Chains A and B, each alone.
Chain A
Amino acid sequence: DAGITQSPRHKVTETGTPVTLRCHQTENHRYMYWYRQDPGHGLRLIHYSYGVKDTDKGEVSDGYSVSRSKTEDFLLTLESATSSQTSVYFCAISVEQGAKEQYFGPGTRLTVT
């Protein structure tokens, strides 16, 4: 299994509070991704990173920001959590862009009340 961990694995928070999710990899892969998974929508890309300090927006980036100060860590921040951000969040990594496998972390279940 690829060395990807996510923390926390579960979190309940209140509307309006900031939340940061962490993805940590030990594979030294260049590309990292944050997805959210919701019933009826499947997985959708929030943000991705193609190197340290290099990030870009995905399909559903509104309300989220990311940072990558080290190769191994990719942080997803909800500046002011809303109930619509209740979801399961998956991090994924890839050794390079293009037609290469992505390896997924175990997921973080976030509930915003």
Chain B
Amino acid sequence: KNEVEQSPQNLTAQEGEFITINCSYSVGISALHWLQQHPGGGIVSLFMLSSGKKKHGRLIATINIQEKHSSLHITASHPRDSAVYICAVLEGGGADGLTFGKGTHLIIQP
């Protein structure tokens, strides 16, 4: 069973700061997902990665398959970025769902 660890668990930062959230996993994967969960509870997929780097607006996600590590970066952070960010991994080619980290609770203060 893959062990997915996220750090930090909680992060409070000021508006405009560069944010980094880390995710490491124990077993080789076929893909890694970054998800965002707002206080209202809905979960939105931000990125799906199997190698390299992806960018969407102010969000950047990277993955190093050899080191079993991924990072999510937020540039020019804004209070609306406040949410729980969840890393999840998919092993092999199986249909059997994702294994999730416990999430990073991010608060951006104005």
Instruction: Determine whether the beta carbon of B42 is less than 8 Å from that of A106.
Output: yes
**The residue from B31, B44, B93, B100 contacting A43, defined by CB atoms under 8 A apart:** B100
Residues of B within 8 A of A101 (CB): 33, 45, 48
Query: Which applies to chain A's interface (DSSP): helix, strand, loop or mixed?
Result: strand
Q: Which of A74-113 contact B (CB under 8 A)?
A: 88, 90, 92, 97-104, 106-107
Contacts across chains A and B counted by CB atoms under 8 Å = 64
Please judge, given known A-B contacts A40-B102, A107-B41, whether A48 and B95 are in contact too, CB under 8 Å. Answer: yes
**The residue from A56, A97, A107 contacting B93, defined by CB atoms under 8 A apart:** A97
Report the separation of the CA atoms of residues A50 and B98 in the bound assembly, to the nearest whole angstrom. 14
Give the nearest-CB partner of B92 in chain A: A98
Q: Which of B90, B95, B100 has the most CB of A within 10 A?
A: B95
Extra contacts, 18 of them, besides A44-B100, A101-B45 (Cβ < 8 A), are: A31-B95, A33-B97, A42-B86, A42-B102, A48-B95, A48-B97, A88-B41, A90-B43, A97-B93, A99-B31, A99-B48, A100-B31, A101-B33, A103-B45, A104-B42, A104-B44, A107-B41, A107-B43
Where the two chains meet, the residues of B that have a C-beta atom closer than 8 Å to any C-beta of A are 1, 30-31, 33, 35, 41-45, 48, 50, 86, 88, 90, 93-103
Where the two chains meet, the residues of A that have a C-beta atom closer than 8 Å to any C-beta of B are 31, 33, 35, 40-45, 48, 50, 56, 58-59, 88, 90, 92, 97-104, 106-107
